């Protein structure tokens, strides 16, 4: 029984291991911090959030200050997918963001069918064309009348 835990990770309840959903790489024990099964990289946030104001003219440029803020990227060691990211002050310990009771999960999933594809989101119907907020075009969305 495999349980989809995030966009990128799942837990195999039979082997009690974290696995990559993209390449099936077995990462680490599901009772352990999944980040220990990944690669981590300390990125200067200015590489992603590039200065949009001229740094020769201004101190603040839309880029985070790298002496205050670091961007930590976590990669699957096999396929290189970016499994997680977190913004931390320099030197701050990475967060253990997920810690599950595997025995309780096993008991819970005894009564459920395996979910192979995440159930997705729900969108309420709306018109993609004739985007409008008011007036005749809005009325036409309800009447179905074509514009002249």
Work out whether 146 is an interface residue with other proteins (CB under 8 A).
Answer: no
24 vs 62, beta carbon nearer other proteins: 62
Work out whether 141 is an interface residue with other proteins (CB under 8 A).
Answer: no
Find the shortest distance in angstroms from Cβ 102 to other proteins. 9
Residue 98 to residues 11, 35, 43, 122: CA-CA distances in angstroms?
A: 12, 9, 22, 25
Work out whether 13 is an interface residue with other proteins (CB under 8 A).
Answer: no
Find the shortest distance in angstroms from Cβ 136 to other proteins. 19
Task: Give long-range contacts, CB 8 A cutoff, 24+ apart: 7-11.
Answer: 7/118, 8/76, 8/81, 8/82, 8/83, 8/84, 9/34, 9/83, 11/100, 11/102, 11/105
Q: Are 34 and 99 in contact (CB under 8 A)?
A: no
Restricted to residues 78-137, the positions that interact with other proteins (CB under 8 A) are 79-101, 104-105, 108, 112-113, 115, 118-123
x-or-dash string of contact with other proteins, 21-60, rule CB under 8 A: ------------x-xxxxxxxx--x--xxx-xxx--xxxx
In whole angstroms, give the CA distance from residue 100 to residue 12.
13
Find the shortest distance in angstroms from Cβ 140 to other proteins. 23
Work out whether 19 is an interface residue with other proteins (CB under 8 A).
Answer: no
């Amino acid at each position: 029984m495999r349980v989809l835990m995030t966009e990128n990770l799942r837990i195999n309840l039979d082997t009690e291991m974290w696995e990559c959903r993209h390449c099936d790489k077995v990462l680490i024990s599901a009772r352990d911090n999944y980040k220990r099964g990944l690669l981590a990289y300390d990125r200067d946030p200015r590489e992603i959030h590039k200065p949009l104001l001229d740094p020769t003219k201004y101190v603040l440029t839309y880029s985070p200050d790298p002496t205050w803020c670091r961007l930590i990227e976590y990669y699957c060691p096999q396929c290189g997918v970016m499994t997680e990211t977190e913004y931390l002050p320099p030197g701050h310990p990475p967060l253990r963001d997920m810690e599950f009771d595997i025995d309780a999960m096993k008991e819970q999933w005894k009564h459920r069918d395996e979910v192979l594809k995440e159930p997705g989101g729900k969108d309420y119907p709306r018109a993609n064309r004739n985007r409008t907020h008011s007036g005749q075009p809005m009325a036409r969305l309800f009447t179905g009348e074509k514009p002249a």
